[in-house]
A and B are shown apart, each in its own frame.
Chain A
Amino acid sequence: MAGLHKSDYKNPVVNWIDTRLPLFTMMNKEYAVFPTPKNFNYFWNFGALATVTLLLMIATGVFLAMNYTPDSNMAFDSVERIMRDVNYGWLLRYAHANGASMFFIVVYIHIFRGLYYGSYKTPRELLWMLGVVILLLMMATAFMGYVLPWGQMSFWGATVITNLFSAFPLVGNAIVTWLWGGFAVGDPTLHRFFSLHYLLPFVLIGVVFFHVVALHITGSNNPLGIDVKSPQDTLPFHPYYTIKDSVGLCVFFMVWAAFVFFAPNFFGDPDNYIPANPLQTPSEIVPEWYFLPYYAILRSVPNKLGGVCMMFGSILVLFVLPWLDTSPVRSARFRPIYRALFWVHVVACIALGFVGAHRPEGWWVVLGRVATTYYFLHFLVLLPIIGKLERPLPLPESISRPVIPPRGGGGPLPGGAPAKPMEKP
């Protein structure tokens, strides 16, 4: 339906624009007066942190790309030239390289927040699935970015990971040759990875946009996991959450800066300061830390194709999580058994990270297999079952009248409403 928007803005210029393209009205509605549950804890900062990180990655990346050369004979030296000759080039590069790690830390915390408070459950399934798409795109972007400096780990990491596709029967080898643009990782691979590394972050922006649109349709979840019942349960996003997010952002910047300025190569692998050499395999090929759990799953399965499937499956399973978890109660606060299993799952994921950093020998193999098994057991078996067996604690009546004090998190107080299935808004 066409028609001009009736704008309330007094400023004539703003009003003129807003009448024709209601950006101001939209921003005001979605970010200023937007009703937001009043009981968020600081874990609700991480979405904002991730958005800011994405924007800063693009900002630093665009300036790096002005000075970077995606040619297998020049890439390594061009990165060194960024570090030495470009004004504040070292700052751009260290901010970008550490930014990738910060991005994953933030997004992993964001995801585990969702797992703990049941943010993936109805009606937020699609919002959650878009989040999983974001995770996959981030992984692809970071993987290809790591190839760009063309060090030993760049080259051999790219070789190992692209080679995984050869596990698929019949078409496997053809896929790998197609990905490489040749018969080994080489110049064509570097060129296309650079092109895609530049492209995917903008695709990410698009998916993040839909992620936020979906969020603003369903509204945010909250630590109690119950629906907003009345205006008393909410606060306008501005100034309450703009200021709260700002606090988190300041602390986050401090952590990021500490790495950039004082330990810029902390997350990096020394081998990536050795120029790529196709004739010399490094003694150990280790991916970046944020890929280690998947790498561990890959290597825990004795069969190559099986390992590849399990590795991709470990993320794909997240897509169907909303239907695997059969409990109608969202927040782990009211699910004693799930809460315990959640922490076991966290331990399993961290254990997988350590396993991924070690040669698959001795106890590491055993640990890897146990943790991999638990990872899938958790999602595919335990969640469906305990949703049915568990007796949730009584849910509070509303956010503004929490039966359980929001901070203490102790047991239920008298007069609590009995647990009931998730209310439809």
Chain B
Amino acid sequence: MRPALSTARAGGQFAATLLAATLLAAPAIAQEGQLPHPGWSFSGPFGTFDRAAAQRGFQIYKEVCSNCHSLKEAYYRNLEGIGLSEEQVKAVAASVTVPTIGDDGQPAERPALPSDHFKSPFANDKAARAALNGALPPDLSVIVKAREGGPDYVYGVLTGYGEPPAGMKMGDGMNYNRVFPGHQIAMPQPLQADQVQYSDGTKPTLDQEAHDVVTFLTFIANPEMESRKQIGVKIILFLAMLTGITYVVKRRVWSDVH
């Protein structure tokens, strides 16, 4: 029962924040652990994915995150959902080689197809840990569904790096993060301002980059979202009408009962 839990927790957090704010009057403490709410194109019952943002987000995933994080539940063909053409998707897939078995029965390589899953950066978890100082980067396919706070949380992690407060002892190879539970994260700050060059002229600030990649990851976690909401609106309208009609009929049928 996460809803009640999180409401109750939010309540507790609110009270704690209030307490901290009044007792210590230290805004830095109130900041810690709180999620930013940047506002998303896809929230609400009519929300859709901002195509341009999602495409920029894909660029960030490809150029930055994909060095460490897999996206293994997703397919290259999913990219059509953020506005890439069939040809563009083919080209994206073809730029990657995937293992296969050749006609001679020996392991070989071939260019990926749109029907292939995104290629993972590491062969397995052990290889990832070996390359990353023992830390394991989670698969990002459903990351926004797998964290309390969803997109706000992932955005918060990406923008939450900074200097640790005085006196905080950081573990070896760990980085301070305001949002990550425990505030010590093994992932080095992945995004900085001007990390990438956007071809559409958007200014690559840190906030912009985080916003874009989270839009992309939310799409990857919920590729059905737009059609789900569209169908939902129709179904709710239909059911509302049906409820009205049924209720009128019910009143008619019952009119002779006293």
Question: Inside 8 A of A239's CB, which chain B residues have their CB?
Answer: 253
Query: Contacts A247-B250, A357-B1 known; A270 to B145 CB distance under 8 Å?
Result: yes
Q: Is the CB of A80 within 8 A of B73?
A: yes
Question: Inside 8 A of B3's CB, which chain A residues have their CB?
Answer: 266-267, 289
Question: Inside 8 A of A266's CB, which chain B residues have their CB?
Answer: 3
Number of A-B contacts (CB under 8 A): 103
Q: Is the CB of B247 within 8 A of A90?
A: no
Query: Contacts A243-B253, A254-B243, A258-B236 known; A80 to B141 CB distance under 8 Å?
Result: yes
Question: Inside 8 A of A357's CB, which chain B residues have their CB?
Answer: 1, 4-5, 8
A267 to B3, CA, bound (A): 7
A158 nearest CB across to chain B (Å): 18
User: Which of B141, B239, B257 has the most chain A CB atoms closer than 10 A to its own CB?
Assistant: B239
Question: Inside 8 A of A358's CB, which chain B residues have their CB?
Answer: 5, 8
Q: Is the CB of B1 within 8 A of A286?
A: yes
Question: Inside 8 A of A260's CB, which chain B residues have their CB?
Answer: 232
Q: Is the CB of B148 within 8 A of A83?
A: no
B102 contacts the other chain (CB 8 A): no
B117 nearest CB across to chain A (Å): 10
A320 to B118, CA, bound (A): 58
Q: Is the CB of B142 within 8 A of A273?
A: yes
Question: Inside 8 A of A246's CB, which chain B residues have their CB?
Answer: 246, 250
Q: Look across to chain B and name the residue whose beta carbon is closest to the beta carbon of A242.
A: B253
- A80, A81, A292: the one contacting B142 at CB < 8 Å is A80
Residues 215-253 (chain B) with a chain A CB within 8 angstroms: 223-224, 228-229, 231-233, 235-236, 239-240, 242-243, 246-247, 249-250, 253
Q: Is the CB of A271 within 8 A of B146?
A: yes
- A94, A244, A258, A262: the one contacting B250 at CB < 8 Å is A244
A283 contacts the other chain (CB 8 A): yes
A81 to B229, CA, bound (A): 20
Q: Is the CB of A254 within 8 A of B146?
A: no
Question: Inside 8 A of A292's CB, which chain B residues have their CB?
Answer: 1
A137 contacts the other chain (CB 8 A): no
Question: Inside 8 A of A91's CB, which chain B residues have their CB?
Answer: 228, 231
Question: Inside 8 A of A247's CB, which chain B residues have their CB?
Answer: 243, 246-247, 250
Residues 87-129 (chain A) with a chain B CB within 8 angstroms: 90-91, 94
- B45, B75, B147, B243: the one contacting A262 at CB < 8 Å is B45
A253 contacts the other chain (CB 8 A): yes
Query: Contacts A77-B73, A80-B142, A260-B232 known; A353 to B247 CB distance under 8 Å?
Result: no
A244 to B243, CA, bound (A): 11
Question: Inside 8 A of A353's CB, which chain B residues have their CB?
Answer: 1, 4
Residues 334-391 (chain A) with a chain B CB within 8 angstroms: 353-354, 356-358
Judged by DSSP, the binding face of B is: helix
Q: Is the CB of B4 within 8 A of A354?
A: yes
Residues 282-303 (chain A) with a chain B CB within 8 angstroms: 283, 286, 288-289, 292
A254 to B241, CA, bound (A): 11
A328 to B249, CA, bound (A): 38
A38 contacts the other chain (CB 8 A): yes
Mask, B1-15, CB within 8 Å of A = 1, is 111110010000000
Q: Is the CB of A250 within 8 A of B1?
A: no
A292 to B2, CA, bound (A): 11
B181 contacts the other chain (CB 8 A): yes
A82 nearest CB across to chain B (Å): 11
Query: Contacts A251-B243, A254-B239, A257-B236 known; A83 to B224 CB distance under 8 Å?
Result: yes
Question: Inside 8 A of B181's CB, which chain A residues have their CB?
Answer: 283
Question: Inside 8 A of B231's CB, which chain A residues have their CB?
Answer: 91, 261
A98 nearest CB across to chain B (Å): 12
- A235, A254, A273: the one contacting B145 at CB < 8 Å is A273
Q: Look across to chain B and name the residue whose beta carbon is closest to the beta carbon of A77.
A: B73
A253 to B150, CA, bound (A): 27
Q: Look across to chain B and name the residue whose beta carbon is closest to the beta carbon of A238.
A: B253
B246 nearest CB across to chain A (Å): 5
Q: Is the CB of A90 within 8 A of B228?
A: yes
User: Which of A91, A260, A265, A273 has the most chain B CB atoms closer than 10 A to its own CB?
Assistant: A273
A26 contacts the other chain (CB 8 A): no
Q: Look across to chain B and name the residue whose beta carbon is closest to the beta carbon of A273.
A: B146
A416 nearest CB across to chain B (Å): 20
B11 nearest CB across to chain A (Å): 11
Question: Inside 8 A of A274's CB, which chain B residues have their CB?
Answer: 138, 146
A397 to B26, CA, bound (A): 69
A71 contacts the other chain (CB 8 A): no
Residues 110-169 (chain B) with a chain A CB within 8 angstroms: 138, 141-142, 145-148, 150
Q: Is the CB of B73 within 8 A of A84?
A: yes
Q: Is the CB of A356 within 8 A of B142?
A: no
Residues 26-71 (chain A) with a chain B CB within 8 angstroms: 38
Question: Inside 8 A of A262's CB, which chain B residues have their CB?
Answer: 45, 229, 232
Q: Look across to chain B and name the residue whose beta carbon is closest to the beta carbon of A283.
A: B181
A262 to B145, CA, bound (A): 14
Q: Is the CB of A240 within 8 A of B73?
A: no
A122 to B228, CA, bound (A): 48
A269 contacts the other chain (CB 8 A): yes
Mask, B29-73, CB within 8 Å of A = 1, is 000000000000000010000000000000000000000000001
Q: Look across to chain A and name the residue whose beta carbon is closest to the beta carbon of B72.
A: A77
- A254, A264, A286: the one contacting B240 at CB < 8 Å is A254
Question: Inside 8 A of B73's CB, which chain A residues have their CB?
Answer: 77, 80-81, 84
User: Which of A90, A247, A266, A271 has the most chain B CB atoms closer than 10 A to its own CB?
Assistant: A247
Query: Contacts A261-B236, A353-B4 known; A90 to B250 CB distance under 8 Å?
Result: no
Q: Look across to chain A and name the residue whose beta carbon is closest to the beta carbon of B153.
A: A270
Q: Is the CB of B224 within 8 A of A270?
A: no
User: Which of B2, B4, B242 has the most chain A CB atoms closer than 10 A to its own CB?
Assistant: B2
A167 nearest CB across to chain B (Å): 24
7 contacting pairs across A/B (C-beta < 8 A)? A38-B257, A84-B75, A246-B250, A250-B242, A257-B236, A258-B236, A261-B228
Q: A90-B224, A261-B233 are known contacts; what are 7 more A-B pairs with Cβ within 8 Å?
A: A239-B253, A254-B243, A261-B232, A270-B145, A273-B142, A353-B1, A354-B8
Residues of B within 8 A of A (CB): 1-5, 8, 45, 73-75, 78, 138, 141-142, 145-148, 150, 181, 223-224, 228-229, 231-233, 235-236, 239-240, 242-243, 246-247, 249-250, 253-254, 257
